[in-house]
Structure 1
Amino acid sequence: MVNHEGGTSSMNQLKTAQMPQLKLFKDGIVRIMETDTGNKVVNARDLYEGLKVKTRFNDWVVRQSGKYGFEEGKDFYSFLGKSTGGRPTQEYILKLNTAKELAMVENNEQGRTVRKYFIDVEEKVIHVKQPKSRKKSVNLIFRQEMDIAKTLASITGVKEGIAYAVAMERAEQKTGEDFSAYKRLLPTATHETGFLNPTKIGEQIGKKSRVVNKLLQERGLQEQRDKEWRLTDEGKKYAEEMPYTRNGHSGYQIKWSESVIDVLYALEVMQ
């Protein structure tokens, strides 16, 4: 293996005579160790055994490190192993990327298996780290939606509670989180309003959305203006108009409270 001065790393050149302090991170096909700073490393002998290399360890290390130009301090660290009565053994601690590359260049099924094992471990480490950043992302999106809702309410006159309910709905869609527990904290009237469109109403009364819109119009709750449904003064008792922008178009979407269903049932009975 090559050191930074360009020479071959040998036992006489070693400055580190003691094995670094490592703890076991994963005991699988090849043991993966962890340094005190959290870096994942592999003992070259463990990799050698995991790859089931046929040549002698020292010959394999010298051949592969020379061929692929691994550098001490960058790709690996060397140290003297414990003596068993003779000369101390030359040992190497490989960075995980170095171990992956050595597995890959074996160019056989065992090498591919070991490399995939290293990659799987790396991915699990990444997933373990994600919750903190994900939590930060969810909090940021939630705050952004709530800020937008508050601004929208102040500009358009929409009730703050209604705007907040929609903000929670949007935050759910963006993050995949469930905010139903928070929605229940909203006042009942506020919570109900903003969740029913004609399709949802139709599902409850057994009507198509087109028929529901006609019934709402006949009851005097909405009217068409410029090919768009808008609330009448009477309709404002049961719904809120929510401005939207979609695909370059803007307009209003009506969100009805469940109390409007009773009104439509009454209309059906009278007819």
Structure 2
Amino acid sequence: MSHPDTISSASRAVTVAEAPAFPAVTAGTVGSVAIQTVDGRALHAFLDVGRDFTNWIKGRIQTYGFEKGVDYEVFAGFGENLSDGSGSPNPGSGKPKGGRPTSEYALTLDMAKELGMVENNERGRMVRRYFIDCERKAKAPRRATALKRPPSHRSLASTWAWAESLSERLGISDANQKALGANALTERITGVDVLGAMGIKHLVAPQQEVLLTATEIGERLGEVSARFINARLLELGFQSGSPGAYEPTDKGIAAGGVMLDVARSNGTGNSRQLRWASGIIDQLRPLIAAA
């Protein structure tokens, strides 16, 4: 994926002549999942961090808890001696010229965004904004074409029933999640928000159901970290706030987010904590796989 000569009005000061090539976004694989990736060495060269690539990437992984198979993958490359294109060695930038095997890193866009952000400079902010835009364009659904005339009640009921049966075939058993899925698909096809038209803004999570923490959700999705889960819930609009003070949005409440009074482990009373109905897993699984 290429980038425009000028990424944004705020970044016009950094031109192609002043900076290395902007790190490209390409199709890759992380944790056996097809995903958009960024070459770690290219990102390092663009950020101009002043440290050699190997020490920089290993230090960032250790400091910020990035996980192999979740945030990045490592693959073999060749070329300890690097060139800036002029024929002179230029460690830490450019492309491998050949030589001993090296470790190359394919980064998820989320990891690349974080790496850009922690550098706290204009180039870091540029790459973060660019990768956010890449994700937004990749995930943006096609707009449904609304019908000129509202569909009949029979047509709506038929579409809803078909959508619910599709949810069952996909293994979604939670009644709330089936209703939300049926509503979303019905609106996509007919242009009618059935639940909204009926004034239904929230679906209450069944109280007998075990409510999950972000850590427990991550475990059920295959040892994904709580930090990763919370980041996805924020980006997808299910929750707001900051670590230790998350709250469900209206969208999160509809998906089964509940604030609970939980006893503190030190016995000093209760704290308000966010928990999720298990149906949230069905919503996060395909989004995480495609992230």
TM-score range, shorter chain: 0.3 to 0.5
TM value normalised by structure 2? 0.37
TM value normalised by structure 1? 0.39
